[in-house]
Amino acid sequence: MLLLFAFALTPAISSAQASAPSAGNIYYYSLTCPHCKNVSDYFKRNGIIEKFNVISKEVSQNPENAKELYDALSFRNIAPDDMVVPFMLAGGEALFGELEIINYFKNKLGQEVKPITENNNKTGGQNKLTIPTVIIAALADSINPCAFSVMVFLLLSLLSIGARKRMLKVGIVYIATVYVVYLAAGLGLLTVFQSVSFMSKYILYAAAILAIIAGAINIKDFFFYGKGFSLAIPESKKHLMDRYIKHASIPASIILGFLVALFELPCTGGFYLAILALLSQETTFWSGFAYLAFYNLIFVAPLFLIILAVYKGVSPEKLEEWRVAKRTWMRLIMGLVLVGMGLALIFLF
């Protein structure tokens, strides 16, 4: 899915071979693809490389191999945007996805062949990961009261010195910093998760359990707000953020954006960890990058709406009153989505 988007983001993800070979066994894979690892592990256990003279070509770090794969798909009138590795040419026959490749060699070796369905073949399950899944999680994550409160207090500080244009600049820098920090943290964790793909199922289940626990805590806050443990920015860190809010400058907003992204993880970590665990199992690194970039755009979108509303004349005090009045409902929505995501990770993926 998103192979063309990933191709546009990095020259290392293009693909190859203007005239595809009509014979031979050529296996295209990526070091960051968990489904490719499953295929490679099967090859090793059964000596497929040696028995069938398979030529393996890695595409995520080798532009020539990536170009060759791209052209091989185009030669067969296969839309590259619908395909990701693992992909194989076996005697000129095109094999798509983990199960189709493994079943091809199981048939050759006389082993039991698993049934292939539309949902479990081409990417070994990646069709389960859809744009609506990311949108729902990102929207629920974006309404967290932690981010809203910091934004409102920053705007109040800026307006107190009568600098509406400066408010817009500082606010945009703050939001951009939050976006970059969240994206960088997500890419780092995605890399770690994919590097230990043999533990991908355990990571997925751990993320699911944490999402359910976080969801239950947020649902508790709907009924008993302020009682017991809550997921919020630690009280001990608020004075540090207040210091930079009062500075109301562009350098201070960069530091504030970094601190907020770091300290509000208790509010947002459940969503992000669940999505990252899913991406690590269902995508390559670059398609995962595209999903994360899209997710974080949705995550910061409400902050842009807040700053634009205040710039156009809406009172930050009114926004703060609305936030306080609706915060328990925000918690409920976040909690329900988190529990739903956790259960889906356990039973559907």
CATH number, span 3-109: 3.40.30.10
Structure tokens at 180: 């970059």
The pLDDT assigned to 117 comes to 54
Structure tokens at 33: 């693809």
The 3-state DSSP class for residue 14 equals: coil
**pLDDT per position in the chain (349 positions), as tens?**
333 333 343 343 333 333 434 457 899 988 767 778 889 888 999 999 999 999 999 887 888 888 888 888 777 666 655 456 888 988 778 888 888 899 899 988 888 877 765 545 544 444 455 678 888 888 888 887 777 777 777 777 666 655 677 778 888 888 899 899 999 999 998 888 877 765 767 888 888 898 899 889 889 988 988 787 777 666 666 666 666 666 667 787 788 888 877 777 767 778 888 888 888 877 777 888 989 999 999 998 988 888 888 888 888 788 778 878 888 888 898 889 889 988 988 887 6
Neighbours of 1 (CB within 10 A): 21
The pLDDT assigned to 179 comes to 92
Partners of 151 in beta bridges:
none
Neighbours of 162 (CB within 10 A): 8
- Backbone phi, psi, residue 59, to 5°: -110, -20
Q: Report the C-alpha gap between 147 and 119 in whole angstroms.
A: 37
The pLDDT assigned to 212 comes to 92
The pLDDT assigned to 11 comes to 40
The pLDDT assigned to 242 comes to 67
Q: What is the domain partition of the chain in residue ranges?
A: 3-109, 129-347
Please report, for residues 71, 186, 293, 328, the alpha-carbon distance to residue 269 in angstroms, rounded to integers and kept in the order given.
40, 10, 16, 18
Please tell me the pTM assigned to this model.
Answer: 0.63
Neighbours of 97 (CB within 10 A): 25
The pLDDT assigned to 306 comes to 84
- Closest by Cα among 339, 349, 336 to 209: 339
Structure tokens at 253: 């907003």
- Closest by Cα among 122, 261, 246 to 188: 261
